[in-house]
């Protein structure tokens, strides 16, 4: 069957439990860079794809977010209900910095 789940038909107490179960997730965005060599005489940057025996420069950006946060944009009632549960977690996440992890060749 292709029926939609009617979330708003649930009692408010169950909807509040659903908001409490929205988990904080950690996301890692990995970026691998190419080798760069600056040719001073010609003032241009040359990109070399050769393997020099050391790891390629890489950066990993790590940040936390709440999975399913888009539920707050569905309607004003859900936004008001979810805000009491999610606001403390959002405030905590806002104060935590994004982390950047890089290997020594990326510096």
User: How is 9-59 classified by DSSP, letter by letter?
Assistant: GS-HHHHHHHHHT--EEEEEEEEE--EEEEETTTTEEEEE----SSPPPEE
pLDDT tens by residue, 39-71 = 555 555 555 555 556 677 788 999 999 988 899
Average pLDDT of the chain, as a whole number: 83
CB-side neighbour CA atoms (13 Å) of 84: 10
Question: Contact, 52 vs 35, CB < 8 A?
Answer: yes
Checking if the pLDDT of 75 tops 90, the result is: yes
Cα 37 from chain centroid (whole Å): 32
pLDDT tens by residue, 82-99 = 999 999 999 999 999 999
Per-residue pLDDT band for 80 (boundaries 50, 70, 90) equals: very high
Consecutive H or E run containing 94: helix 76-95
Q: What is the pTM of this model?
A: 0.63
Question: What does the pLDDT read at residue 40?
Answer: 57
Question: What does the pLDDT read at residue 52?
Answer: 57
């Amino acid at each position: 069957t292709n029926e939609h789940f009617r979330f708003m038909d649930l009692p408010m107490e169950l909807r509040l439990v659903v908001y409490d179960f929205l988990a904080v997730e950690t996301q890692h965005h990995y970026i691998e860079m190419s080798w760069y060599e600056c040719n001073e005489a010609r003032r241009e940057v040359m990109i070399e794809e050769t393997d020099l025996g050391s790891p390629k420069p890489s950066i990993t950006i790590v940040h936390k977010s709440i999975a399913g946060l888009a539920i707050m944009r569905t309607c004003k009632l859900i936004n008001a209900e979810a805000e009491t549960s999610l606001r403390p977690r959002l405030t905590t996440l806002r104060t935590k910095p994004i982390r950047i992890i890089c290997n020594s060749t990326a510096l």
